[in-house]
Amino acid sequence: MAVVVAAVFYIVAGALHFIKPAPYLRIMPAYIPSHAAMVRVSGVFEILGGLGLLVPATRRAAAFGLVALLIAVFPANLYMAMHPAEGGAAAIPPGLRWGRLPLQALLIWWLVWCTRPRYVLR
């Protein structure tokens, strides 16, 4: 069940990159080029990763691809925490903005956990 929840989480998160791209665009640091394209590319990879989690033959590759994506987008989350006004997060309390950063480690752990050989999708 955990792998299905993870898959849905990433598919929905990826879809939001297309449905509501503005929050993702705001948290992009200036040094990253082509903000709109990067948001779309990361959305595509989240959707593909989520779908890949559902297929036992691709689950491991999808999980580690999503881990790589979480690491790649970490600078945007750090930017939002450090520059809340520019990142569109001025209304979010500092504890929540900074608390999002260690959440990335939990998301990575969850993905790795989903790759356990004995995990069977029922």
Domains of the chain: which residue ranges? 2-113
pLDDT bracket for residue 119 (50, 70, 90): low
Whole-angstrom CA distances from 35 to 29, 97, 104, 119 are 9, 21, 21, 37
Query: How far is it, in rounded angstroms, from Cα 32 to Cα 86?
Result: 15
- The per-residue pLDDT for range 76-101, each reduced to its tens digit, is 889 888 988 887 788 888 888 898 89
Whole-angstrom CA distances from 112 to 13, 21, 102 are 18, 28, 16
With a threshold of 0.85, does the pTM exceed it? yes
Is the pLDDT assigned to residue 57 strictly greater than 90? yes
Is the pLDDT assigned to residue 68 strictly greater than 60? yes
119 half-sphere exposure, CB direction, 13 A CA radius: 18
- The per-residue pLDDT for range 36-49, each reduced to its tens digit, is 999 999 999 999 99
